[in-house]
Amino acid sequence: MIIPAALLVVAGFGAALSGGSDDAAAPAKSASPSGTPAEQNVVNDKPTAAPSTKPTAVPTPVVEEVAASEPASESSTPASAEAVVPSEQATPDDAAADATTSQSQAVRKAETYLEFSAFSRTGLIDQLEFEGFSTEDATFAVDTVTVDWMAQAAAKAEDYLEYSAFSESGLAKQLEFEGFTPEEAAHGVATVDADWMAQAAKKAASYMDYSAFSRSGLIDQLEFEGFTSEQAEHGATSVGL
């Protein structure tokens, strides 16, 4: 049987078409492995992105902890307030509020004295007793008013140097005589800005105003007042002896 040439051509053309489709499918299959890593990378990228979100989520527990601690701080406030109450009740103002009429008057008098002069603790008590207050009321008043006795010693030292001359040790003794403690007196002397050479000269001049002295006699007197030998000699020389 003779097959027409046209049929052979069609058959060959169909085989070519079928073979070409197989070849085309093969690259498609070969492309799938190359696509597989790409898909795996995408999947792998998701876990790598997840850790980046986890740190951003960390502040949330921290904020919750802070919020949880706020009630604790608020709850601790009443406790601290309760601890302050006893100290507030012990203030001089509260003590003055519970004072008797006589004690209140003593407090007013003590405050008045401190407005225009400096006192030691014992000196202010003595002054109130001199005013007629009892020792109990005077002591109550002095312990009720708010006073810095160190500052009072410094102010008293300044007052003394305004109208009289003193050596360093003589001024300390005078402050102690006024009732200041040795520590308060030392603070008062150390606080003032005094030129002890000038104080010796001033003291020598005051002595010469009401009495006659030889040079050695004046030097001895100045040393007796607490001036050093150098300061005493300077004082005697300053008045012409």
Residue 98: predicted pLDDT: 76
Q: Rounded mean pLDDT of the chain?
A: 74
pLDDT at 27 over 70: no
Residue 84: predicted pLDDT: 40
Across 32-45, average pLDDT: 40
Q: How confident is the model at residue 105 (pLDDT cuts 50, 70, 90)?
A: very high
Side-chain half-sphere of 155: how many Cα atoms within 13 Å? 13
Closest CA to 170 of 138, 147, 143, 192: 192
Domains of the chain: 92-147 (1.10.10), 149-194 (1.10.10), 195-241 (1.10.10)
Q: What is the 3-state secondary structure (H, E, C) of 15-66?
A: HHHHHHHHHHHHHHHHHHHHHHHHHHHHHHHHHHHHHHHHHHHCHHHHHHHH
Residue 136: predicted pLDDT: 95
- What b-and-e string marks burial along 88-109, b requiring 16 or more CB atoms within 10 Å of the CB? eeeeeeeebeebeeebbbbbeb
* Angstrom distance (rounded) from CA 241 to CA 228: 17
Residue 64: predicted pLDDT: 40
> How many other CB atoms are there within 10 angstroms of residue 151's CB atom?
14
Closest CA to 128 of 143, 106, 108, 144: 106
CB 121 within 8 A of CB 142: yes
pLDDT tens digits, residue range 124-178? Answer: 999 999 999 999 999 999 999 999 999 999 999 999 999 999 999 999 999 999 9
Residue 35: predicted pLDDT: 42
Q: How confident is the model at residue 93 (pLDDT cuts 50, 70, 90)?
A: low
Residue 92: predicted pLDDT: 54
Alpha helices in the chain (DSSP H): 5-57, 59-89, 92-97, 101-116, 121-130, 135-144, 149-163, 168-177, 182-191, 196-210, 215-224, 229-238
Lowest mean pLDDT among 66-75, 100-109, 140-149, 214-223: 66-75
Provide the whole-model pTM. 0.58
Report percent pLDDT > 90 for the chain: 56
